[in-house]
């Protein structure tokens, strides 16, 4: 059985709707699928409904874009109560901020004679809109060849169309996940190059580290397992699947989390207050 605890639907910046994602999980032999859309839980009910009777467990999650100082950090929340009013209210406010950011990015692109329709991009996103949606619009418009080129030339931090999001402190995101009865897990720490943040986040209530990720080398996996043991954190992992055309190769279920790590995650959640 494959276990993938990091995936995205069209509720945020994935290419597949929730039901289509679950069907792909069935074809790939995945038994437990974490649906972790950016700043929204809007795809969870559809995913859970689609998984009923297929022998697939959808583990409810969310991925919150937050900041440790000036550094953007993504926080995964697992087992969240996706109907918790305070969670829904805060996520809605962050999605509104994303729409404003979209309009500012499109305005900056006009300086380079690139005309994009922000309202159309937001409508096509259908949920939590972000830079990948702008990148796809740039590809479709023939302005760049790939999503990676869109980020490299225009959308990455420091590039001409980059617009910073509201700087939500990661400590606030951790507290919100905890309030929604979830377990907060640091997503893909190898991307940040700042392992020094981990002790601070542990003091803020961090419960786990995403050890297995497609951007983590074998050496990184070993390092983060050691850090998890040092700070009594659970280990998670997944493909971070988006399924976007023109993006880096991704395959749902790869990497797959070992079953003993999933058991430890469940045990930690059961022991949480």
CATH superfamily of 2-82+184-271: Metal-dependent hydrolases (3.20.20.140)
Specify the pLDDT at position 20: 96
Domain ranges of the chain: 2-82+184-271
Any long-range contacts for 19-26 (C-beta under 8 Å, 24+ apart)? 19/46, 19/47, 19/49, 19/50, 21/47, 21/241, 21/243, 21/252, 22/47, 22/50, 22/51, 22/54, 22/56, 22/58, 23/50, 24/243, 24/252, 25/51, 25/56, 25/252, 25/253, 26/54, 26/55, 26/56
Q: Give the pLDDT of residue 249.
A: 60
Instruction: State the pTM of this model.
Output: 0.85
pLDDT at 213: 97
pLDDT in tens, the chain (273 residues): 899 999 999 998 888 999 999 999 999 999 999 999 999 999 999 999 999 989 899 999 999 999 999 899 999 999 999 999 999 999 989 888 888 999 999 999 999 999 999 999 988 876 678 888 899 999 999 999 999 999 999 999 899 999 987 789 999 999 999 999 999 999 999 999 999 999 999 999 999 999 999 999 999 999 999 999 999 999 999 999 998 655 556 899 999 999 999 999 999 999 766
Contact 170, 203 (CB under 8 A): no
**So what's the pLDDT on residue 96?**
85
What HEC string does the chain produce? Answer: CEEEEEECCCCCCCCCCHHHHHHHHHHHCEEEEEECCECCCCCHHHHHHHHCCCCCEEEEEEEEEEEECCEEEEEEEECCCCCCHHHHHHHHHHHHHHHHHHHHHHHHHHCCCCCCCHHHHHHHHCCCCCHHHHHHHHHHCCCCCCHHHHHHHHHCCCCCCCCCCCCCEHHHHHHHHHHCCCEEEECCHHHCCCCCHHHHHHHHCCCEEEEECCCCCHHHHHHHHHHHHHCCCEEEECCCECCCCCCCCCCCCCCCCCHHHHHHHHHHHHHCC
């Amino acid at each position: 059985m494959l276990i993938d605890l990091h995936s995205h639907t069209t509720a945020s910046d994935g290419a597949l709707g929730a039901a289509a994602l679950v069907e792909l999980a069935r074809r790939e032999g995945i038994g437990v699928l974490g649906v972790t859309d950016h700043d929204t839980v809007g795809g969870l009910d559809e995913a859970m409904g689609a998984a009923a009777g297929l022998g697939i467990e959808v583990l409810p999650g969310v991925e919150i874009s937050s900041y440790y100082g000036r550094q953007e950090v993504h926080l995964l929340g697992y087992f969240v109560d996706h109907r918790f009013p305070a969670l829904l209210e805060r996520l809605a406010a962050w999605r509104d901020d994303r729409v404003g950011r979209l309009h500012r990015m499109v305005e900056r692109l006009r300086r380079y004679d690139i005309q994009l329709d922000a309202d159309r991009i937001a409508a096509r996103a259908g949920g939590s809109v972000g830079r990948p949606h702008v990148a796809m619009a740039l590809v479709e418009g023939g302005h760049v060849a790939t999503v990676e080129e869109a980020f490299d030339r225009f959308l990455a931090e420091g590039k001409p169309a980059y617009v910073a999001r509201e700087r939500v402190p990661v400590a606030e995101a951790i507290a919100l996940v905890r309030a929604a009865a979830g377990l907060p897990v640091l997503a893909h720490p190898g991307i940040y190059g700042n392992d020094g943040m981990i002790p601070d986040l542990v003091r803020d209530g961090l419960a786990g580290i995403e050890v297995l990720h497609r951007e983590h080398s074998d050496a990184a996996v070993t390092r983060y397992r050691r850090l998890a043991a040092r700070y009594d954190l659970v280990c998670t992992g997944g493909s971070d699947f988006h399924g976007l055309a023109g993006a880096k190769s991704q395959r749902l279920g790869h990497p797959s989390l070992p079953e003993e790590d999933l058991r430890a995650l469940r045990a930690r959640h059961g022991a949480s207050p």
